[in-house]
Amino acid sequence: MAKQKTIFICSECGNNQPRWIGCCPECQSWNSYVEETIQPLGTIQTNAAPQKTTKLLRFNEIVSDSKKRLTSNIHEWDRVMGGGILPGSFVILTGDPGIGKSTLLLQVADKLAVEHMVLYFSSEESLEQVKSRTERLGLSNTKLLFSDEPCLEAIIDMTLAQKPDLIILDSIQNCHFSSQPKTMPGTIAQLREAAFYLMRLAKENNIAVLVTGHITKDGQMAGPKLLEHMVDAVFYLQGEDRWHMRILRSVKNRFGTINEIGFFEMQEQGLIEIANLNQQLLKDSSSTPGATLVCCLEGSRPILLELQSLCVESRFGIPQRVVTGIDQKRVILIAAILEKYLHIKFSSYDIFFKVSGGVKIQESSADLGIALSLLSNYFQKPLPEKTLAIGEVSLTGLISISNQMGTRIKEAEKFGITKILTTKDQKNLGNTTKIIGFKNVYELLGLFPEE
């Protein structure tokens, strides 16, 4: 019997060392090395088909058939997935504890089981707990098959015997190999090996595999970074305080668009999709000093948001900067540009800035909206009603065009927006909107005339 060896693997980047060290030389993380036992190859035994002889094919000899995606008729889910789950794909869904991953997957599995064969493996909860949640959600599809089997060899054998269209594994961290009793579930070695066998199960048998994963205290998916590379798609389910909102975000998707997001609301009946999000976000908006409407793109979806700012003369040595919903450095940068070219001393003011609705902005098309919000509150004069700001602000004070303006303007027209504040180079791509263009930040002062 071969002697087992141990190595130390960084839990952040996967770098391995023969002995424990305090700081990882690759990612510079401290105290991230954990001890792992090197298992001999060939220890996992399943009833998988024997290895086939390798055959080389020319490009025109490759047979490609159009695969019909598994659609659940939960439109927010299907859109984020790229039109549905592709057969043979390996997908992982992660998020904070209690955010609603299992609830969402039960709802999706219930819908998919109407036309497809779905196996649901719950390694974290007993079947009684799963049944209790199913009854609470009002799900009653008797075709959906459940199991609380945590052994990965048994799960693979059962899947090969049943040949389902989709298997759901909740979660990958709680599965184990019976042939490796000394390897604890959730370790880097176990996750790496489990992901490999599940990936081969999906690719070789054209079975979609959907697993849930844990998350670290830093908000990243737990386990080795290799896990994100092996799967076809990575989705995060994130929570927002307002309206008990849940955001399903596509971080990686080989068969769809990345950064696509879907919105759900947590209710007693489970996660209910929000189809009219912009209407809810704009419901509480008002034309007051410091409030500005912007349109941001999340994937292919335009979202209308209200920016709110409050500028108060600082009474302390160092002015405060309290920003939520957007990168704080971006707000500070826009304030510095306005101070440089408009000679407004924002550096002596406390700035409080937020994005309404609890949504986080990541793109630069909100630059003009940030500048107008700060100027509006500084001069205590509101912007004209039904006005939307779209544009980027450069370090030289110039206002430049944003991408996909046609999509943004058409979405704004649906909600009665009549004026678009943007760069002078922008053409009017709408039917009912009026373009008000600005070349640089100097011209923004024309919106706040002195009385």
- Segment 367-373 shows an average pLDDT of 94
pLDDT of residue 386: 86
pLDDT of residue 50: 53
In the three-class reduction of DSSP (H, G, I as helix; E, B as strand; rest coil), residue 243 is classed as helix
Domain chopping of the chain, boundaries? 1-40, 70-273, 279-447
Dist CA 250 CA 360 (whole Å): 15
Reply yes or no on whether the pLDDT at 278 is more than 50. yes
pLDDT of residue 1: 46
Place of tokens 């992901």: 195
- Shared fold status for 70-273 and 279-447: no
Reply yes or no on whether the pLDDT at 43 is more than 60. no
The fourth-level CATH superfamily of domain 70-273 is P-loop containing nucleotide triphosphate hydrolases (3.40.50.300)
CATH code, 279-447: 3.30.230.10
DSSP letters of 297-331? Answer: EETTEEEEEEEEEEEEE--SSS--EEEESB-HHHH
Tell me: the pLDDT tens digits for 135-165? 888 887 788 899 988 888 999 999 999 999 9
Lowest mean pLDDT among 1-10, 64-73, 321-330: 1-10
Q: Percent of the chain having pLDDT more than 70?
A: 91
- Segment 299-320 shows an average pLDDT of 88
pLDDT of residue 39: 58
pLDDT of residue 66: 66
In the three-class reduction of DSSP (H, G, I as helix; E, B as strand; rest coil), residue 295 is classed as strand
Q: What's the whole-number average pLDDT of the chain?
A: 85
The set of long-range contacts for 73-76, using a CB threshold of 8 Å and a minimum separation of 24, is: 73/111, 74/107, 74/108, 74/111, 74/273, 75/273, 75/275, 76/248, 76/262, 76/263, 76/264, 76/273, 76/274, 76/275
pLDDT of residue 57: 84
Side-chain half-sphere CA neighbours of 357 within 13 A: 24
Per-residue confidence at 208, pLDDT binned at 50, 70, 90? very high
